[in-house]
Amino acid sequence: MSTKETKEKFYLTTAIMYASRKPHFGNTYEVILADAVARYQRLKGRDVYFLTGTDEHGQKIEGYAAEAGITPKAYVDGISDEIKALWKRMNTTESRFIRTTDADHEDTVRRIFARFFRQGDIYKGSYEGWYCTPCEAFFTDTQIVDGKCPDCGAPVTRAKEEAYFFRMSAYADKLMDYIETHPGFIEPDARRKEMVNNFLRPGLQDLCVSRTSFKWGIPVDFDPAHVVYVWLDALTNYISAIGYDPDKTYEEQSEQFRRLWPADVHFIGKDILRFHTIYWPIFLMALGLPLPKKVFGHPWFIAGEDKMSKSKGNVIYADELADLISVDGVRYYALAEMPYANDGSITYENVMNRYNTDLANNLGNLVKRTHAMVEKYCGGVVPACGPEEGTDAELRVAVEKAISDFTQHMDELRLADACEDVFGMLKRANKYIDESMPWQLAKSPENEARLGTVLYRLLDCVRIGAILLLPVMPAAAEKILRMLSTQKTAWGDLVCGGLESGLTLGECEALFARLDEKAYHAAIEAQQQAKSKPASENKEAEPEHEAQIKIDHFMGVELRSARVLSAERIPKAKKLLKLQVDLGYETRQIVSGIAAWYTPEELVGKTVVVVANLAPATLCGVESRGMLLASGDTDVKVLFLDSDTKPGERIH
C-alpha cells in the first residue's frame, strides 16, 4: 500500500483568481491563508492536495483584451503568469494551479452542461434583469441598491438576452435542510445566517447559466451561440482539477477523485459566498456528488478604513510590501492581523509597528540573544537540562499551553489567534531571560549546571516556536531550525525537552532586522513615485554588454541538458547549493549560488541547462564541475527545460 493511501487526506482550495488585473494584498491574503493551512496539515502528517488557479473567461476579460488590442487568450496568459509568479513569491505550495482555459477543465464543463440539460435541470428561455459586469452576476429589481450591485457597489446595466437556466428552485428545500443539519458547512456562523436569511428563505430564482452577448467562454456543444456562464464554469474547477468524469457515477470515478472529494474546505472571500454556498452545492446535488465539508467565507483586508480599490488609489500589493519587510513579514502580517469574522486593516504604519514589535523584537531578539549566550557560555553546544526550579515550570506551562491552543485555533481556522498563541509564548521566553539572568549565572562556576538548564530551556522553546511557525513563515522557521542543528522538527516532536543535548549550533542567520521609520517611509515613497511615472520612464536602462565574440567562440561553450538528482545546502555557505546532476553519460557535481531563490526540494527532478565543459572550481571547499544557466541579478530564475528532455542533450 502506498504512503498516500495510508495517510489521511486533506483537500483545500482557494477561489480561483479572476485573470483581469494583478491581485492586491487583500486578494493575496486568501492564498497565504490556504497555504498556511496546507502546510499545517502536512506538518500533522496528512496527504494534502492544495488547489488554486485563475478564472479566465467572461465578458469583463473580453473587454479588457479588446482595450489592450490582443486576443482574450493572450491577455489571460499574461495575467495568469503574473499571478503564478506572485504566488511563488509568497512561497505557496499548491498541488495544482488550474486555469479555466485548461483543456481538461473546458471538456469537463461542456460535459457537465450537457448532462444537466439531459437531466432536465437546464432549460432554455430568455433573461431580462440587472447585470453587474465586475461580478459577472445578474440581480433582480429588489436586490440592487440605488442602481448599483449589492455585492461590489458597481453600477448595473439592464440586460436582456436568450439564455439557458438552471432550476435552482428544484433543489432549494434540499439545500436548506442540508445547511440546517450541518452547522459547520458554512463558517463563520454569521455568514451562514446571512445566506439563509437573504437568499434561501425569500426563495431561490432559477439561475442563468449561459450567455449570448459575448463569445469569450466555453461554447455549449449543442447550441454554440451560447457560452457557459462564468460561475458554472469557474466553480467546476474544484472537481475538474482532480479528474471528475461527468459521465460516471461517484462510485465509478477515479481513485484520486474518490480519495480527495469531498473537499475539506473551500476558502473564499465573503463577497462570493453566495455562489459557493448556494449555486455550487446545488450543482453538486444535481451531479449526485457529496458536498464540501466546509465553505469558509473569510473577511476582507481594509486599507485604512475602506475596501481596497485601484480607483480609490489605496491599493497595496503583496510583492511590493515584501520588498520592504520580506515575504515572511508579509505572510505573518496577513495571518496575524485578520480576525476570524471581522475585516482586517492594513496600513503601512500598522505593518511597520507589528513587524518591529513581533518579528524584530520578540522573535528575532529572542533567537539572537539565546544563540549568542550559548556561543559565549557553552561554546556553541546545546547544554544538558537539569531539574526545574525558579520560573522553569511557568515557562514550561506557557509552552505546553501554546502548543495546545495553537492546535485548536489552527483546526478552527482561527489563524490570527494561532499566531498570538506562538508570540505569547515567545514573549514569556523573553521574560524568562530577564528572570533567570544567565549573564549573572555565568559569573560563578558553581552555577554552571543551572546556566545550562536555563539556556537549554530557551533553545527548546525556540525550537518549538519554530515548528509552530513553519506554516506561517516557513523560511524564517527553517532558518531557526537549521541554526539549532536539530532533527526534532516534526509535529510529534512538539514536546518540552525534545531538543537533543550535545548538538553544535549552526550559524544564526539574520531573521528580521528592525525597520528604521525614516528609511521605511522613504522606500514606500520611492515605490509610489516609480508607479506614478509614465511607462516610458519606468523602462529599465539598457544593461552593460560584454565584448562581442565570434561564432566559433560561442560554439566552444558546451551546453547540455541535465536532470537534478539531489540538492543540498552547503553548511555555513548561505548562497550555495550542492547539486548532483545526471548528464546522461555521467553524474556530475555542481555548486550553484542560488540558495536564496530556490530550496533543494524545488530543484530535484527538474531538467536544467549546464555548461558542461567549464573547468573545475572549488567553492567553499566543495568541488564544482559545471555551471547552471540562470537569469537575473536580484531575482534569479534558473532555466528549466521540459521534463521530457533527455539528460545529456546538446543545446545549440
133 pLDDT more than 90: no
Q: Higher pLDDT residue, 542 or 328?
A: 328
pLDDT digits (tens, 9 = 90+) for 90-118: 999 999 999 999 999 999 999 999 999 99
Helix (H) or strand (E) holding 425: helix 415-436
Residue 143: what pLDDT?
83
Q: Which residues contact 13 (CB under 8 A, 6 or more apart)?
A: 34, 50, 51, 52, 238, 263, 265, 266, 267
Strands 210-211, 186-187: pairing kind: unpaired
pLDDT digits (tens, 9 = 90+) for 321-361: 999 999 999 999 999 999 998 999 999 999 999 999 999 99
All three cell numbers of 267, joined, read 476558502
pLDDT digits (tens, 9 = 90+) for 201-247: 998 989 999 999 899 999 999 999 999 998 999 999 999 999 999 99
Q: Which residues contact 407 (CB under 8 A, 6 or more apart)?
A: none
The answer to whether the CB of 386 falls within 8 A of the CB of 471 is no
pTM above 0.75, yes or no: yes
371 pLDDT more than 60: yes
The answer to whether the CB of 55 falls within 8 A of the CB of 12 is no
Other CB atoms within 10 A of residue 6 CB? 9
User: Which of these, 273, 295, 194, 321, lies nearest to 337 by C-alpha position?
Assistant: 321
Residues 189-200 have a mean pLDDT of 92
User: Which residues lie across from 637 on neighbouring strands?
Assistant: 631
pLDDT digits (tens, 9 = 90+) for 414-460: 999 999 999 999 999 999 999 999 999 999 999 999 999 999 999 99
Residue 291: what pLDDT?
98
pLDDT digits (tens, 9 = 90+) for 525-540: 999 888 776 655 555 5
Residues 184-197 have a mean pLDDT of 94
**CA-to-CA distance for 209 and 115, rounded, in angstroms?**
13
Grid cell 434561501 in the structure block, residue? 200
Q: Which residues contact 362 (CB under 8 A, 6 or more apart)?
A: 423, 426, 427, 430
Residue 1: what pLDDT?
39
Residues 607-624 have a mean pLDDT of 85
Q: What is the mean pLDDT of the chain?
A: 91
pLDDT digits (tens, 9 = 90+) for 274-321: 999 999 999 999 999 999 999 999 999 988 666 666 555 678 999 999
Residue 633: what pLDDT?
65
544 pLDDT more than 60: no
User: Which of these, 483, 469, 487, lies nearest to 367 by C-alpha position?
Assistant: 483
- Cα separations in angstroms, 560 against 475, 557, 609: 32, 10, 6
The answer to whether the CB of 326 falls within 8 A of the CB of 54 is no
pLDDT digits (tens, 9 = 90+) for 24-41: 999 999 999 999 999 999
Identify the CATH homologous superfamily for domain 348-493. Isoleucyl-tRNA Synthetase; Domain 1 (1.10.730.10)
Grid cell 492544495 in the structure block, residue? 50
> What is the DSSP secondary-structure string of 34-92?
HHHHHHHHHHTT-EEEEEEEEE--SHHHHHHHHHHTS-HHHHHHHHHHHHHHHHHHTT-
pLDDT digits (tens, 9 = 90+) for 62-101: 999 999 999 999 999 999 999 999 999 999 999 999 999 9
Q: Which of 345-359, 576-590, 632-646 has the lowest mean pLDDT?
A: 632-646
Other CB atoms within 10 A of residue 221 CB? 12
Residue 3: what pLDDT?
46
**CA-to-CA distance for 235 and 123, rounded, in angstroms?**
20
The answer to whether the CB of 317 falls within 8 A of the CB of 25 is yes
Residue 2: what pLDDT?
45
635 pLDDT more than 80: no
Residues 633-637 have a mean pLDDT of 74
**What's the CATH fold of domain 551-641?**
OB fold (Dihydrolipoamide Acetyltransferase, E2P) (2.40.50)
Grid cell 549546571 in the structure block, residue? 449
All three cell numbers of 381, joined, read 553546544
Residue 146: what pLDDT?
86
Query: What is the band of 480 on the pLDDT scale with cuts at 50, 70, 90?
Result: very high
**CA-to-CA distance for 378 and 554, rounded, in angstroms?**
55
Residue 649: what pLDDT?
87
* Sheet arrangement for strand 122-132: 137-139, 122-132, 157-166, 207-208
Sign of the dihedral defined by the CA atoms of residues 424, 415, 88, 606, in that order: positive
pLDDT digits (tens, 9 = 90+) for 235-282: 999 999 999 999 999 999 999 999 999 999 999 999 999 999 999 999
**CA-to-CA distance for 65 and 72, rounded, in angstroms?**
5
Grid cell 543551572 in the structure block, residue? 450
Residue 266: what pLDDT?
98
The answer to whether the CB of 212 falls within 8 A of the CB of 226 is yes
Question: How is the chain split into domains, by residue range?
Answer: 348-493, 551-641
All three cell numbers of 542, joined, read 539598457
